[in-house]
Amino acid sequence: MRLRARARQDPTGDARGLPVPGTLELPAPARLALTAGWNLAESLGLPLVAYAAGERLGGQGAGMAAATATTWLTAVVRKVATGSVPGLLMISALVLTLQTALVLVTGSVLLFLLQFPVANLALCILFARTAPSGRPLVAKLAAEVVSLRQPSAGHPGLDSFFRGVTWLWAGIFAASTIGLAALLVLEPATVFLLFTSVVTVAGVAVGTLLSVLWFMRMLRRCGLRVRFDRA
């Protein structure tokens, strides 16, 4: 009886604590920031620290190898500790492995610079492969990075949104690949490296902004709402 009364008092959750249709659930803001920060630290922060240490001790190749080894070690620890590897961490490991192979296999400056458009191409293919599937990559990342809980019965508008946004990110990485490849042909190495950072940051910023705007529009059109968990 107490469980039923609690379910009636809280229209945004069922008796099991799961979101009901029409409600998406996020952790409390502090926990949300901690979850997202932890995922980003694993996938980006630790590899950057390892790269800086390796590059200082043994040059660029050593830095790339250290970053890749650290990422895979983190993935193994995650697998042993939790039984699964977060998608963002796995993406980071695969892209770093590809980049490190290009750096270490040859000493060619051209192939070293080629790692940047090749990495974007790999991300484009990865997102595009999952977009038409029943589990688009953006949905997986939303569940892992920000702990977004969807209605247990699913929602056609939400499913369509995740597929569309996954295609959006595939397109952004495709555009970055083309842009970086053109810069590689047209510009000297120093200018190319500068523009690599600009293109990467701009692509992520544009993709994030468009994804958020699309998400808000989807919420309004589908009558969905977001609820922060009080726990």
Give yes or no for residue 231 having a pLDDT over 80. Answer: no
pLDDT at 146: 80
Contact assessment for residue 27 and residue 35, using Cβ atoms and an 8 Å cutoff: yes
Phi, psi of 123 (to 5 degrees): -65, -40
CA atoms within 13 A on the CB side of 75: 20
Q: pLDDT band at 18, cuts 50/70/90?
A: very low
Give CA–CA dist 99/121, Å, rounded: 12
What's the confidence (pLDDT) of residue 34? 84
pLDDT(86) > 80? yes
pTM: 0.75
pLDDT for the residue 73: 94
pLDDT of residue 226: 79
For residue range 156-173, what is the model confidence (pLDDT) as tens digits? 788 899 999 999 999 999
**In the predicted structure, residue 153 carries a pLDDT above the cut 70:** no
Task: Tell the burial category of 213 from Cβ atoms under 10 Å away from its Cβ (0-12, 13-18, 19+).
Answer: exposed
Tell me what the pLDDT averaged over the chain comes to: 81
pLDDT at 7 over 60: no
Q: Please tell me which residue, 2 or 54, carries the higher pLDDT value.
A: 54
Asked whether residue 21 carries a pLDDT value surpassing 60, the answer given is: no
Domain boundaries, the chain: 22-228
**Dihedral (Cα; 152, 156, 159, 161), 10-degree rounding:** -130
pLDDT one-digit tens code per residue, 178-217? 999 999 888 887 788 888 888 888 988 999 999 989 988 8
Could you tell me the pLDDT band of residue 22, with boundaries at 50, 70 and 90?
low
pLDDT over threshold 90, residue 124: yes
Q: What is the mean pLDDT of residues 115-129?
A: 90
Max mean pLDDT range (35-39, 40-44, 47-51): 47-51
